[in-house]
Amino acid sequence: MKVMVLVKRVIDYNVRVRVKSDASGVETDGVKMSINPFDEIALEEALRLREAGHAEQVLVVSMGSDACQQQLRTALAMGADRAIQIATDAALQPLRAAQLIKALIEREQPGMVLLGKQAIDDDNNQTGQMLAALWQRPQATNAAQLEVQGDSVRVTREVDDGLQVLELDLPAVISTDLRLNTPRFVKLPDIMKAKKKPLDVVQASELGDADDSLDLHIDDWQAPPKRGGGIMVEDVDALVSELKSRGLV
C-alpha cells in the first residue's frame, strides 16, 4: 500500500507571529518555517505503518512555491520515500487544495491519505473532509489511534463524551490529532541521505484549470488588540455590575 501524506509549510509554532508594518501580511523574512505540527504527526504515523509492514511506500506532498521544498526535504529526512511539490504561487482555499490533491490521487493511486486535522496558520480544518467528498471515499477526522486490519482501518477518535471508534474501508482519508503519536527527531545523516531522494515538481496547472473564485484574497491584516489591565472589585454585586456595563452578561 502507498500512503500519501499532505504537509504544509507554516511559521514555526515557537515563533511569535507579527503583522507587517504596512498591514500587507504576516512577517516571514528571517522567520523560522516548519512542517505544520499536525501534518508532522500524520507523517510519523505513515512511517510507523510502513515499519509495521502495512505500507510499502510513503509519499509526501506539499503545495506552494519552491520554498516548501525545504519542508519536503525535512519529511524525506524523517523517512519518507518520495516527495511531490504542487507548484503554485496562489494562496489556496481548502476546496482548491482538495481539488489539486484529488487530481494527484488519480495519478498516484494511494491506499490511504493522511494529513493533519488543521493547519496552525489558518485553522480551517476543512481540506481533509473536502478531499474525502471529492474522492468519494470514507473519512475519519481527529484520529487519536489508528490500526490497519487488512483492507480496512480502525480509527479511534476522542470526542466530548469519550472515545468513538470507526472502521473504514480502504482507500480512505484520515486526519490526525495531537495524541496519535510523537514525531521522531531528524538526524544529520538522514538529512544528507534525503538530498538523494526523489522530489518531483508538478505544476498546479497540470492538475486541472484553476478556478479564480476559489483563490483566497485578503484585503487587510490586523494584529489582535492588546489586552487591557484588570480591575479590582469589592464583591460579587460589583463584579456583576461591571460585567453588565461592558455588555458581557
**Tally of helices (H runs) and strands (E runs) in the chain:** 6, 11
Q: Report how far Cα 75 is from the mean position of its chain's Cα atoms.
A: 13
Cβ proximity of 59 and 110 under 8 Å: yes
Secondary structure of residue 176 in the 3-state scheme: strand
Q: Which of 134, 119, 148 is nearest to 38 (CA)?
A: 119
Domain count along the chain: 1
Residue-range definition of the domain harbouring residue 99: 2-245
| pLDDT tens, position by position, 169-210 | 999 999 999 989 999 998 889 899 888 899 999 998 888 765
The predicted pLDDT at position 161 comes to: 85
| pLDDT tens, position by position, 132-157 | 999 999 999 999 999 999 899 999 99
The predicted pLDDT at position 155 comes to: 94
Tell me the CATH number at 74. 3.40.50.620
Q: Which of 117, 89, 90, 86 is nearest to 103 (CA)?
A: 86
Q: Is residue 15 very low, low, confident or very high in pLDDT (cuts 50, 70, 90)?
A: confident
| pLDDT tens, position by position, 53-104 | 999 999 999 999 999 999 999 999 999 999 999 998 887 888 989 999 999 9
Beta carbons within 8 Å of 218's beta carbon, 6+ residues apart: 25, 91
| pLDDT tens, position by position, 102-123 | 999 999 999 999 999 999 888 8
Q: Which of 47, 57, 55 is nearest to 78 (CA)?
A: 47
